[in-house]
């Protein structure tokens, strides 16, 4: 009986070794993981874009251990450890996809299989068209670890999710992007350091200048989707700026409209700290509803 059981276990391991293929695992990682876990700024140094990267693990140690069905990477994929991966889920990996990784680990994590070359991220030149697919990797790699329903903080701060275009644009009463007007967009102000706290929250390091430029250009060009369709202006949405007065009706270079309906409380002079609360107009401009010093 013991001999039969041993033979069964050995044959099962051999079968797993025959079917396990890092090429297939790499293709899965390329589709769902490497948008974040690649390059020098991969979270915790964990790179999943090569066999060597997976074996090297992260700053916290190994993530995949040959033969260990409780390897950290499997616990994250199954949701047994938080946050569940990938961070932009749901949807998370299917049972079949998790089994693919599990079988590879059970087989000893062999290197074999053809690993497809990963497509390079498109980086539009200054002045070129910038679409959502050009900036989406920035949000997914840097922002969704906090700003998603799968947040490492338990819930996305201020209820703000940045894991999809729809959530980035948000409802009209929670305006963080004003298409065509980056200076009035809270997202851009946070990543460039004009609004506090600067983002990402765990910086420095902050976003590279090129990524900040891409986000600004994307907003300035209308926050267009992958098909090039501009986002609707959130007319009636509320915005709030806190910064330094840089003009008669301007904070940190962001101009707004002041009219007879604007409440003014102790507006400071040039260079003074001030707050503007306003309402987005149909043309993307902002009408100040209240001005005060800070």
User: In the structure, what pLDDT confidence band is assigned to residue 6 with cuts at 50, 70 and 90?
Assistant: very low
- Among 134-138, 152-156, 193-197, 286-290, the minimum mean pLDDT is found in 152-156
Q: Which of 153, 186, 148 is CA-nearest to residue 164?
A: 148
- Among 9-18, 172-181, 218-227, the minimum mean pLDDT is found in 9-18
CA distance 52 to 62: 12
Length of the chain (residues): 294
Mean pLDDT of the chain: 87
* For range 102-110, the mean pLDDT: 94
Task: List the chain domain ranges.
Answer: 15-106, 132-220, 238-293
Of residues 243 and 202, the one with the higher pLDDT is 243
Of residues 135 and 161, the one with the higher pLDDT is 135
Q: Is the pLDDT of residue 10 over 60?
A: no
Whether the Cβ atoms of residue 109 and residue 13 lie closer than 8 Å to each other: no
Q: Is 110 exposed, middle or buried (0-12, 13-18, 19+ CB in 10 A)?
A: middle
The per-residue pLDDT for 157 is 81
Letter string b/e over residues 132-166, b meaning 16 or more CB atoms within 10 A of that residue's CB: bebbbbbbbbbbbbbbbebbeeeebeeebbbbebe
* For range 271-279, the mean pLDDT: 97
Torsion region of 146: left, alpha or beta (phi above 0 gives left; psi -120 to 50 gives alpha): alpha
Pairing of strands 273-280, 263-265: unpaired
Q: Is the pLDDT of residue 58 over 50?
A: yes
Task: State pLDDT tens for residues 150-203.
Answer: 677 777 888 888 888 999 998 766 799 999 999 999 999 999 999 999 999 888
Q: Is the pLDDT of residue 16 over 60?
A: no
Contacts of 181 by beta carbon, 8 Å cutoff, 6+ apart: 219, 220, 254, 284, 285, 286
């Amino acid at each position: 009986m013991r001999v039969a059981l041993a033979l069964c276990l050995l044959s099962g391991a051999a079968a797993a070794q025959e079917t396990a293929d890092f090429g297939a695992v790499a293709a899965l990682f390329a589709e769902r993981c490497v948008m974040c876990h690649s390059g020098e700024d991969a979270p915790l140094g964990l790179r999943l874009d090569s066999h060597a990267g997976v074996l090297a693990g992260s700053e916290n140690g190994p993530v995949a251990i040959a033969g260990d069905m409780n390897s950290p990477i499997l616990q994250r994929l199954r949701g047994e450890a938080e946050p569940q991966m990938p961070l932009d889920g749901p949807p998370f990996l299917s049972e079949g996809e998790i089994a693919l990784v599990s079988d590879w680990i059970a087989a000893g994590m062999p290197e074999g299989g053809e690993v497809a070359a990963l497509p390079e991220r498109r980086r539009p030149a200054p002045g070129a068209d910038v679409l959502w697919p050009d900036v989406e990797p920035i949000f997914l790699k840097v922002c969704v670890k906090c700003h998603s329903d799968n947040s490492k903080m338990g819930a996305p701060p201020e209820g703000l999710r940045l894991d999809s275009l729809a959530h980035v644009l948000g409802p009209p009463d929670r305006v963080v992007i004003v298409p065509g007007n980056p200076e009035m967009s809270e997202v851009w102000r946070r990543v460039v350091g004009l609004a506090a706290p600067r983002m990402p929250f765990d910086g420095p390091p902050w976003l590279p200048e090129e990524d900040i430029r891409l986000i600004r250009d994307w907003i300035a060009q209308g926050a267009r989707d992958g098909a090039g369709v501009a986002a609707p202006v959130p007319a009636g949405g509320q915005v709030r700026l806190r910064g330094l007065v840089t003009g008669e009706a301007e904070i940190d270079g962001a101009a707004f409209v002041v009219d007879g309906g604007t409440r003014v409380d102790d507006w400071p002079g040039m260079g003074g700290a001030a707050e503007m609360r306003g309402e987005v107009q149909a043309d993307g401009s902002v009408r100040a509803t209240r001005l005060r010093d800070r």
